[in-house]
Each structure stands twice: as C-alpha cells, then as structure tokens.
Amino acid sequence: MDLNGLINQKSEWLKGEGPRSDIVMSTRVRIARNLDGHLFFNWANSEQRSDVLEILMKALGKNNFFKPAAFIRLKDISELDKEFLVERHLMSVEHTRDTAYRGLVIGDKEIVSAMLNEEDHMRLQVIHSGFNITEAWRIVDEIDTSWGGLLTFAYSNRFGYLTACPTNPGTGLRASVMMHLPALEMTGQIENVYEAISKLGLTIRGFYGEGTEAAGNFFQISNQVALGHSEADVLDNIERVINKVIVKEEETRGHLLKNKRSETQDGIFRSYGTLKSARIITSRETIKLLSSVRLGVDLGLITDVSTSSLNEILLLMQPAHLQKINARELNPHERDIKRADMVRVRLGNG
Amino acid sequence: MKCDICNKEEATVHLTEVVNDKVTKLHLCERCAKEKSQQMQAHFGLTDLISGLMDIDPQINEEIQTAGPQLKCGFCGMTYYDFQKNGKLGCGKCYEAFSDELSTLLRKIHGSDRHLGKMPFFDAAESNNRETLNRLRQEMDDLIKSEKFEKAAIIRDRIREMESGETDKGQNGS
C-alpha cells in the first residue's frame, strides 16, 4: 500500500454510513501504550528513540490486523504528505514535527492506524463512520490483546498503563465522536452543550482534535478522564452523553422545520446554490456551506446528493488534498480557485 | 465581521474559550490570531496547566527548586523538578519514583489515582494475581463505603472471574 494510493481511496470514516450518521460523522477510539523498560519519547535520546521505532515497526509488521498496511517513516516523506495525513485524521499535528524517529502505520481502508513515537511509543486508533463506539473499541481491544508476549507494555497495578503525560495513564483510552450540530449552533444552544459537557468529564474539540477550533458546525466530543474508571465505564459515559446531544439536535431540527421552515430552506438552498456556482472559495466558506447542505440532505430537502459525497468533498477541499490532486504546490489563491472547480464538478455542475 | 483585537482586518479565526464553565467567543483576524496563539502557548500550555495543578510556578528559579528535597527516578534519571518543568514523565518507572506526588496530581486530574480498567496479559497470567485480588477487594470495599454500588458490582464480577480461574482469557478486565 503506498501513500499516493490513499488519495483515490475513500476512508471508511467518510462513508456517511453507520448508526446515526445523520448527526454523528465518525467515531474514533484510541489507546496510548509505552514499551516497558524504554524511556518515553520526550526523554529518550536518538538511539533509544530509534530502538523503540524499530521494535514497534517489526511487531506491527507481524500483526495480522496490519495486513495489508502502509509502514511510513516520517523522515522519508514530504511536508505536503505529512499535512495530507493530518487532514485524513491519521495523525496529529504534533506528529509532523521532530520526525527523525517517528512512524505511522496505516491499515486497510484507514480503519486502523498507529502513530509510533508520538508523545507515547504507540497511539493505536480505530475510526469508524457513524456512531459506533462499541465496534471501534472492540477492534482496538482485540489488537491490544493480540500482542501476547511479543510486546510488554509499561503498566502498574496501581496506575494502569503508564503514559508520558499524567492526563493519560490508567486505561490510556480516548474516545472521540465527531458530531454535526448545525441546529444547536444556529439556535445558540451549543453553548449549553459546552457547559454541560465540561461538567461530565468530557471535552469538546475542533475538527482536527486537540487545540483546534470547531468549523462548519462539526464538533468533536471526547472523554478527558482515563484513570479510575474501567474502559466500559468511560465508553458508557460518553455514549450516554452523545445520545442526549443527538436527541437535542434532533428536537431542534424538528423545531426549525416546523417554526422556521422557509428560513431554514432558504439558507440551505442558498448554500447549495453557492457551492454549485462559486468560482473562488475559501476552505472556511466551503465547510460552512457543506454543513448547511448536509443538513438539507438529513432533513430530506435535498435529494440529489449523498452524505457520503459531501463527506468526500469535505476531505478533498483541504489544502494538502487539493495540492495532491493537482500534483503541484498551489498558493492560497490558486487553491481557492481549484477548490471551487472541484466542488462544482463533484456537485454535477462543472 | 471585524477582528476583536485590532478592529481593522476581517475576522477569519473564531475561538471559543471555556474558563470555569463560562464560555467566551473571540473573532480574530489571521495576524492577531497568530499572536494570540503564541501568547496562549507561552502562558497557558498544557505544561503550565499541569504545573499549575502541582502548585509550582515553572518560572521559579532552578536554584530554589533544586535546593529542596530531590526526587529522582533511578531508571531514567528524571528529577521531579524536570517533570514539573516539562509536564511529561521520563519513563514508566517515574510513576513509582514520584508515586506520592503523582497520586495527588492524578486525583486532581482524574478524580482518582487507581486504575480500574484492563490489565495486560502478563499481569493476569502471572502469580501476582493475589496482589491484584487484594487490590480489587480493597477497591470494592472503598466503593461500597462511598455508595458507588454500580462500580463495586463491576469489580465484584471481576474478582469472581479471577477466582474461578478464568483469568488467562481475561485480558478484558472491564
């Protein structure tokens, strides 16, 4: 599997399918693991970092969950490729820096992937489309169990799996659910969601995870607490909260359709019109309009485009993806033009 | 919409901050957003947040710090002061070396300093089952005392599972 092949491949999490895919775009579950007897990345020297990378590359190479897979050493790929991988949610922004001994392994359909030598030796993640925490955790758990005696992780009975940052030990587990909440945002209720969630041991992040802002009404909700609760408890808590947010969003959508039907329809069809007609468009505007059209599809107002196609545009309209498609570097203005072209073609109005 | 800071450029970056459950929104132009983000990184990185929880100012002169009692991890050589500065631990053994200090910090972050989840294969299969069972029984008692019965039941089930000798398949401790 090679990196350039990914551009023509549809990531599983973008399929627009799975439970509640009208409101939940994707579910991601990750665990942090470190090798016993090895220094954590930030405190290790070059030789120690290299040892860890080699051990893990070898172990993942033998693992059936990573057949087929792309084994990438980040020092070998271009800046553009790194950005491309961040845009596909396969690695963090942090992982694009200090790349001498960092690795990334991407499994089939991009469902399973592992960052090697990020903050922890291994960050294993599974992404699924729709609201699918149980299934994502099942796969993570199976892979985590599959090492048997091959890898020994840093673990203590008292503190659980040991991690570089004190925010992660214990389960090392983080579940994140990417939600599309246009109605709650439009009616100003999203701030109540923020407040409620921060009181429940959960947190809201932007589209690209930690340290990023919410864009186009996409919000990532994840657990903050990793220690003192079993995995089942952590996942159960987030699942319950997400279900409540889904109901709220649904009710608000219903309210908009009932009481502000014309305004809602007008906004949606204007957005659709702009996307189908624009000649120059920024990513910020695109994501905003896509959000509106997506709502139109969910409400049954727009029927000639699928959620899956909208998800694909959302992925492809990002800077690194546009440059990969066009096979050359593009300045921001050129990108805005190429983006408008790509969106029109994909919406059948080229 | 104009930038909230310079009031001149068009705002293209929209920040939402949650501080003590209060939500504030900031609309910034690209230049002011960059400056703001640098300021935020300088003044409020995760390191500072963790140092804040440890009640230690990372700016404090190194000499004052090192004059105090020195905790050091025997495996990787990280001192507790290094950890306070970086916000990250050096290796798994640091957790033992700094266990008292870390317990306090972990309780502040997670509301607990005891792992309740999955155990790795070697742990369940090896002879330290007894130690694990003791730990679980202690935790179950604590939970019953604090009337957290749902969680206590989960632990009770795991104890039963371990006692019935099914531990070797029981990677999944949840």
Model confidence pLDDT, tens digit, residues B117-150: 998 865 445 545 666 777 788 888 888 888 888 8
At residue B60, does pLDDT exceed 80? no
The stretch B153-168 carries a mean pLDDT of 73
Domain ranges of chain B: 1-43, 50-110, 124-172
Domain ranges of chain A: 3-252, 261-346
Domain A3-252: which CATH number of 3.40.50.720, 3.30.590.10, 1.10.3720.10, 3.20.20.150: 3.30.590.10
> Using CA atoms, how far apart are residues B108 and B53, in angstroms rounded to an integer?
7
Indicate yes or no: CB of A230 within 8 angstroms of CB of B96.
no
The stretch B93-104 carries a mean pLDDT of 94
Q: Please indicate if any CB of chain B lies within 8 Å of the CB of A173.
A: yes
Parts of chain A with a pLDDT under 70: 1-2, 206-214
pLDDT tier at B168 (50, 70, 90 boundaries)? very low
Extract the tokens encoding B37: 């983000």
Query: What stretch of H or E contains A115?
Result: strand A112-116
At residue B68, does pLDDT exceed 60? no
pTM value is 0.79
Most confident of A81-95, B6-20, B60-74, B160-174: A81-95
Extract the tokens encoding A108: 């089939």
- What's the angle, vertex CA A65, arms to CA A62 and CA A69, rounded to 5? 75
Residue A89 phi, psi dihedral angles, 5° rounding: 65, 30
Residue partners of B120: CB distance under 8 A and separation at least 6: A152, A153, A155, A161, B171
**What integer pLDDT is reported at residue B169 of this predicted model?**
41
* Nearest CA-CA partner of B119 in B106, B132, B108, B103: B132
> Using CA atoms, how far apart are residues B94 and A232, in angstroms rounded to an integer?
28
Exposed, middle or buried, B73 (CB in 10 Å: 0-12/13-18/19+)? Answer: buried
Block residue for tokens 């409540």: A244
Cβ-contact A31, A132 below 8 angstroms: no
At residue B61, does pLDDT exceed 50? no
**What integer pLDDT is reported at residue B149 of this predicted model?**
86
Cβ-contact A91, A123 below 8 angstroms: no
DSSP states of B106-119: HHHHHS-SS--S--
> What are the distances in angstroms from CA A9 to CA A16, A82, A139?
15, 17, 21
How many residues in chain A? 350
* Cα A315 off chain centre by: 11
How far does A165 lie from chain B, in Å, by closest CA?
5
Between B100 and B53, the more confident residue is B100
> Using CA atoms, how far apart are residues B52 and B79, in angstroms rounded to an integer?
18
Indicate yes or no: CB of A155 within 8 angstroms of CB of B123.
yes
Q: Which of residues 131-150 of A touch B (CB under 8 A)?
A: 141, 144-145, 147-149
Amino acid at B15: L
**What integer pLDDT is reported at residue B36 of this predicted model?**
67
Where on the phi/psi map is residue B165: left (φ > 0), alpha (ψ -120 to 50), or beta? Answer: left
> Using CA atoms, how far apart are residues A88 and A316, in angstroms rounded to an integer?
9
> What are the distances in angstroms from CA B114 to CA A156, A207, B167?
10, 32, 20
**What integer pLDDT is reported at residue A157 of this predicted model?**
92
The complex scores an ipTM of 0.88
**What integer pLDDT is reported at residue A214 of this predicted model?**
60
Residues in chain A with CB shorter than 8 Å from the CB of B173 are 230
Query: Of B111, B115, B151, which is closest to A158 when you measure between CB atoms?
Result: B115
* Nearest CA-CA partner of B117 in B53, B172, B63: B172
Indicate yes or no: CB of A149 within 8 angstroms of CB of B121.
yes
At residue B172, does pLDDT exceed 90? no
At residue B42, does pLDDT exceed 50? no
Query: Of B16, B109, B115, which is closest to A166 when you measure between CB atoms?
Result: B109
**What integer pLDDT is reported at residue A205 of this predicted model?**
79
Cβ-contact A121, A52 below 8 angstroms: yes
pLDDT tier at B49 (50, 70, 90 boundaries)? low
Measured between its terminal Cα atoms, the distance across chain A in Å is 32
* Chain mean pLDDT for chain B: 73
Indicate yes or no: CB of B173 within 8 angstroms of CB of A230.
yes
Residue partners of B86: CB distance under 8 A and separation at least 6: A42, B47
